[in-house]
Amino acid sequence: MIATRSAIFDEALEIAGRRFKSRLIVGTGKYRSYEEMKAAHAASGAEIVTVAVRRVPLDRRVESFLDHLDPKLMILPNTAGCYTVEEAVRTARLAREALGTNWIKLEVIGDQTTLFPDNEQTIEAARILVKEDFVVLPYVTDDLIVAKKLLDVGCAAVMPLAAPIGSGLGVQNPTNLRILREQLPDAILIVDAGVGTASDAAIAMELGADAVLMNTAIAEAQHPEQMARAMRLAVEAGRLAYLAGRMPKRLYASASSPLAGVIR
Amino acid sequence: MRVIVNGEEREIAEGLTLSRLLEELELAPERIAVELNRKVIRRADWPQTVLREGDRIEIVHFVGGGFGGKLSAHRLFDLDRSS
């Protein structure tokens, strides 16, 4: 059978009615310079970048960080650093007012050592924000029940972690990601946090993630621009491998050359 | 009169509007957002918003970040219930 064009070239990623060619979403933190960040963003092919909301320092003049981003990029504000429903909701509202976007990457952190999400408060914040017409993309543990609850309250996607934020450990629980994919076939799953290198991103995509979000893996690489390109290729490779459907794993060898006609 | 801006007490003139406060702080109005007593004030309403004694104002902008953030270093708001 001849493979169809769509199978080889993949479809666009669609979130809340917007279509994206890239399945890689990148952060904007931890870069050594703006130049390095810009080069990495370009090499990643990402169309969405996330930014954090913070108090303006009043004791010194600051330039606008957003001026250092390629204007073609979609800016996805996040609620990073929020530990309560109230902080997260207020942060989302402020971000919407400042940027004119109703998209929000929702994070309600539960613990400083692991930066694991507080799932209970995340669901509550999501409920409030969806009612206020936000497109909510919540960071969450790789838990099917919590993911279902977030989708039930109207989140546009769920973003399960691969490993703790900034740990670079890669996918620690592939089983849970597989279960999420199988049980939520129509949901947008974005693996968020914990990717360390290209193979980690590929594994996340092979498990059926619709996209991967990362920051530290690129920003803290020795050469961020190079790593950004590696991630771009890994996400594409992993996606195509998922669509292609991998061969079954076998315990024993299975010859790929015909046995007939072997010289004796 | 006294107001609290980003967690710091400041002395400002009576009848100062939000727009004038931002001017005094030399903040460019693009891509910032302002909250007054926990309610977002839309940009269009800044000139008519007159500040009062004890008001709590939060002015935010955007910084580089992907996710996370330690509680102490990055706390956004002072969640003080007394106001």
pTM: 0.89
* CB of A162 closer than 8 Å to CB of A195: yes
Active site residues of A: 105
B66 to chain A nearest CA, in Å? 4
| Check whether domain A13-243 has CATH 3.30.420.40, yes or no | no
Q: Is the pLDDT of residue A66 over 60?
A: yes
Is residue B11 one of the residues assigned to a domain? yes
User: Rounded distance, CA A56 to CA B73, Å?
Assistant: 14
Condensed to tens digits (0 to 9), the pLDDT of residues B54-83 reads: 999 999 998 887 665 554 444 566 554 333
Q: Following DSSP, what letter does each residue of chain B receive, concatenated? A: -EEEETTEEEE--TT-BHHHHHHHTT--STT-EEEETTEEE-GGGTTT-B--TT-EEEEEEEEE-SS---HHHH--S---TT-
| Dist CA A153 CA A175 (whole Å) | 25
Is residue B83 one of the residues assigned to a domain? no
Which residues of chain B make contact with A100, given a CB cutoff of 8 A?
none
Domain contains B62: yes
Within-domain flag for B77: no
Q: How many domains does chain B have?
A: 1
Task: Give me the residues of A, 244-263, that contact B with CB < 8 A.
Answer: none
Res. A173: pLDDT tops 50: yes
Residue B80 within a domain: no
pLDDT digits (tens, 9 = 90+) for B28-44: 877 899 999 999 999 99
Region A194-206: mean pLDDT is: 96
